[in-house]
Amino acid sequence: MLLFYFYSSGQTIEIDKKYEITGAAKKGLLAHVEFDKTDGFYRLFYIVKVSDVKVRLINYLFDLDFNFLDMKESIMDIEAVQKKYDWSEDFFKKESSRNKDTSALKISANITALILKTPADSLAGNIKDPKGEEPFAINSRDYELTGYLTDSLGNVFISVQNYYYIAKIVQEKKVMKKVYAEVLVLQFDNKGIFRNQYGVSFSGHDKSTKTIQLLFENAKQSSVYWVFLEEKGIPLWSKQSLRFPAICKIDEKNSTITNPIDLGEVDFYLEPQLPYLYNSFIHTIVFFGSDKTGKWIHIYKCRLE
């Protein structure tokens, strides 16, 4: 069975807030977010490069509902930041190689085998766009694996993305360009038997890059939340790709999927290095973004119930 939905809204966001940030912070990047289980506070750390050896560190403090509490900033040597904060070393590594694709996940051999042993006709079908476009094929081999989740009962959910090639003329030569299409989740039971697949089409969105997909089990262990970080492209005014989040819910028992809610807005793009924080302690996912100017922090919080 293939359950397929086209992009539209249909779920509720627990928190949708935005805050104006300082002139210094808006020139930097969100480097780290941490949640204090004791007091229920969130701390956001922004880093702004001052020189080759110094940075400005801005620390924002929010309560559990992301009400602003406090802000502190200081100029520190990069070496001192690395000694004080364990997470900073990873941040500086990412910053030095941020043009590289770090979204790809290594998929274990047994996960790959689950798909390869599934009959091709079980993974194939034709879906027609309700807008009147031509039907497209779901080919069981023309996809890339992006991630997987094993739930509390041992069921396996594997996220993949279909792709195809188109011919283009570049400098009077014919080249084949890879184009990414719809995203899919394949569901297997705890014995490795294929059960269902679910799909979402990103009609009208950028298709030259792969969609980052994330899977989370809900608090009641009855559903799986499927999150997409979709790219709108790389603008001329920035070296960072513009991504926005969307989220939908897969009901394991009833084999249904909700329409995704699209959080992408004209003035909202995810932070390039730290786009989200999954909090397993309270079963939430928080998305962090800003507008094009970097003047406003946007925060979306979803409870994975």
Q: What is the pLDDT of residues 93-140, one digit of tens each?
A: 876 655 444 333 345 566 667 766 666 566 554 433 333 344 444 444
pLDDT of residue 108: 58
178 vs 62, more confident: 62
Give the β-pairing of 54-62 and 68-77: antiparallel
Q: What is the pLDDT of residues 152-163, one digit of tens each?
A: 999 999 998 888
140 vs 143, more confident: 143
59 vs 117, more confident: 59
Give the β-pairing of 194-201 and 2-6: parallel
Q: How confident is the model at residue 8 (pLDDT cuts 50, 70, 90)?
A: very low
Q: How many CB atoms lie within 10 A of CB 157?
A: 23
What are the structure tokens assigned to 129, written together? Answer: 């766009």
pLDDT of residue 134: 42
pLDDT of residue 231: 78
pLDDT of residue 60: 92
**Helix residue ranges, H only, the chain:** 78-84, 88-96, 109-116
Give the β-pairing of 284-290 and 276-279: antiparallel
pLDDT of residue 243: 83
Task: Find out whether 137 and 124 touch, Cβ atoms under 8 Å.
Answer: yes
pLDDT for 227 beyond 90 = yes
Q: What is the pLDDT of residues 12-48, one digit of tens each?
A: 678 888 888 777 777 678 899 999 988 899 999 999 8
pTM above 0.85, yes or no: no
Separation of alpha carbons 16 and 36, rounded Å: 21
pLDDT of residue 103: 36
Task: Find out whether 180 and 208 touch, Cβ atoms under 8 Å.
Answer: yes
